Amino acid sequence: MNALTDVSMNLDHFLTVDPILRRQGGAKILEPVTLVNGTTADWNTELAESTSLNRSGVPQRTFAAPLANASVLREVRADSRPLQVWEGTVLKVDRAAGVIQVLLVAKIGEMPRHTGEIDLGSVSPQDQDLVRPGAVFYLTLYERTIPSVENIQELRFRRRPSWSTAQLKQIERDASMFLSKMKALPNAT
Amino acid sequence: MAQTAEIFTSSIVAVGEFNPAIFSPDWMERNGLIGKDDADSVREGRQGRPLLVSRQVATFETKWFALQVLGNQFSLTSKDALSPAFKDLGVSIFQLFPDTPVTAVGLNFFGHYKLASEDEYHCVGDVLAPKDIWKALYPDEIAGLADLTLRIQRGSRGAPLKTKDEKRIAVQPSSMIRFGVFFSYNDHHDVSASDETNLKSGERVASIIDSEWESSWHDAVRVFDGVLSKTLSK
């Protein structure tokens, strides 16, 4: 049996679709991937149909045996391009009026920072509890090009739940520096 | 004239030793990496790719990213609108695993560019890979550029490299756009050797993603645009 054709059989027990649909051949087919040993590049999708191997100058590629860890659908097709991305900071939340006052800094091109108001309704339900003064969000205006062209905007709040050791060390260094510059107030006599 | 991509996206790939079974949407939601709506969309299979989490592999996708973790490779790929929220997700994941043995991390960017005509399309291939030699060898056949990869390293020829960090830029015909060119940009960072920061490898990866992802994005745009502009002006 061709090693590349029996992948879905090996993975059969991992599939989560309706078993009846699967028996009728309607299950999603998990395709094999080409493993690129040791590289962090991620662009062989354009040559996925290639039958060439060991091309000079290309990292060692091997078709893996049909094990689960080499047999998952990997290709992700994007269909859009960002037109502008703003990093925003919440300045004030007015829940009664249903708006947040924000400071926006453009991430693409040279644009002056500016303030504005954003409707609370445009914040997704999962991000509503993140809306508070000081919270950071990203407002992306993007163009979807496939299947047809449409302009869309997306607002996503930043989620950085943990502090890293490096960040904590930096904070400690900053705090020590500030502390070293502080002087005790003279006692009143 | 500056060129604009029709499709632009990014991925973060790390090489090391991973435990795929940890990377479930429940775990990501519990740790505040994604919201409930994103986690629900994965659990309910609304995003196309079937949820699969096992000891050997974890793979699923939300509306805005796809995650695949194997024993030796971590891959996070953006979908839909690319924004720094994607970078934050990568940073946060590695901050939660400071002790994960990682040897390298790559910040990848991809662009599909549409050209104005078939002539411009062939012009890019002909300028980057002149066909004189190939026409002499195959006078009655057509030679076309299928894949060109440039490796950019710091230093000078003949001298030992100071770092294993490098960039790989590839040019191919686009499979998604007629008369389109596909570019990929791999900003590879080696973290196998210790450095002066004394950070654990997972923390170093988080730090690299945090500090380099946006500048890599801008550099990728500069390079893609530069290659196209310079080839088309020849």
pLDDT of residue A16: 38
What is the average pLDDT across B19-26?
A: 95
Q: Kindly determine whether residue A82 and residue B83, on different chains, have CB atoms separated by under 8 Å.
A: yes
Q: Which 3-state string (H, E, C) describes chain A?
A: CCCCCCHHHHCHHHCCCCHHHHHCCCCCCCCCCEEECCCCCCCHHHHCCCCCCCCCCCCCEEECCCCHHHCCCCCCCCCEEEEEEEEEEEEEEECCCCEEEEEEEECCCCCCCEEEEEEHHHCCHHHHHHCCCCCEEEEEEEEECCCCCEEEEEEEECCCCCCCHHHHHHHHHHHHHHHHHCCCCCCCC
Q: Which ipTM score applies to this complex?
A: 0.86
Query: What phi and psi, each to the nearest 5 degrees, are found at residue B129?
Result: -135, 85
Q: How many CB pairs under 8 A join A and B?
A: 190
Pairing of the two strands B102-114 and B73-78: unpaired
Please provide the CATH number assigned to the domain covering A80-157: 2.40.50
Q: pLDDT of B50-105, one tens digit each?
A: 889 999 999 999 999 999 999 999 999 998 888 999 999 999 999 998 889 999 99
Q: Kindly determine whether residue B84 and residue A138, on different chains, have CB atoms separated by under 8 Å.
A: yes
Task: State the nearest Cα–Cα gap between A178 and chain B, in angstroms.
Answer: 22
The Cα–Cα gap between A47 and B182 comes to 11
Q: Kindly determine whether residue B203 and residue A166, on different chains, have CB atoms separated by under 8 Å.
A: yes
Q: Count how many Cα atoms sit within 13 Å of the Cα of residue B64 in the half-sphere of its side chain.
A: 24
Q: Could you tell me if B128 and B146 are in contact, meaning their C-beta atoms sit under 8 angstroms apart?
A: no
Please tell me if residue A170 touches chain B, with a CB cutoff of 8 Å: no
- Closest residue of chain A to B77, computed from CA coordinates: A76
Q: In tens digits, what is the pLDDT along chain A, a chain of 189 residues?
A: 333 333 333 333 333 334 444 444 444 444 444 445 567 777 554 444 555 544 444 444 554 444 444 445 456 667 788 889 999 999 999 999 999 999 999 988 888 899 999 999 999 999 999 999 999 999 999 888 777 788 888 999 999 876 767 777 888 888 999 998 888 878 876
Q: Give the distance, in angstroms, between the CA of residue B27 and the centroid of all CA atoms in the same chain.
A: 25
How many other CB atoms sit within 10 Å of the CB of residue A123?
A: 19
Q: Count how many Cα atoms sit within 13 Å of the Cα of residue B25 in the half-sphere of its side chain.
A: 22
Q: Is residue B168 predicted with pLDDT exceeding 90?
A: yes
Structure tokens at A63: 């078709």
How many other CB atoms sit within 10 Å of the CB of residue A143?
A: 18
Q: Kindly determine whether residue A126 and residue B37, on different chains, have CB atoms separated by under 8 Å.
A: yes
Among residues 16-75 of chain A, which lie with CB inside 8 Å of chain B? 16-17, 28, 30, 35, 38-43, 45-47, 57-58, 67-70, 72-74
Strand partners, B75: B13, B68
Helix (H) or strand (E) holding B25: helix B25-30
Q: pLDDT of B99-157, one tens digit each?
A: 899 999 999 999 999 999 999 999 999 999 999 999 999 999 999 999 999 999 988 88
- Closest residue of chain B to A71, computed from CA coordinates: B57
Task: State the nearest Cα–Cα gap between B19 and chain A, in angstroms.
Answer: 12
pLDDT of residue B46: 80
The Cα–Cα gap between B105 and A39 comes to 9
Q: Which residues of B touch A158 (CB under 8 A)?
A: 84-85, 88
Identify the residue among B37, B41, B147, B217 best suited for mutation to test binding to A, counting A beta carbons within 10 A and taking the highest.
Answer: B147
Taking alpha carbons only, the member of B79, B151, B218, B147 closest to residue A45 is B147
Q: Which residues of A touch B174 (CB under 8 A)?
A: 46
Residues composing chain B: 234
- Delimit the domains of chain A by residue range: 7-70, 80-157
Q: Kindly determine whether residue B85 and residue A158, on different chains, have CB atoms separated by under 8 Å.
A: yes
State whether residue B66 is helix, strand or coil: strand
Q: Is A120 exposed, middle or buried (0-12, 13-18, 19+ CB in 10 A)?
A: middle
Among residues 111-150 of chain A, which lie with CB inside 8 Å of chain B? 124-127, 138, 140, 142, 145-146
Q: Kindly determine whether residue B79 and residue A78, on different chains, have CB atoms separated by under 8 Å.
A: yes
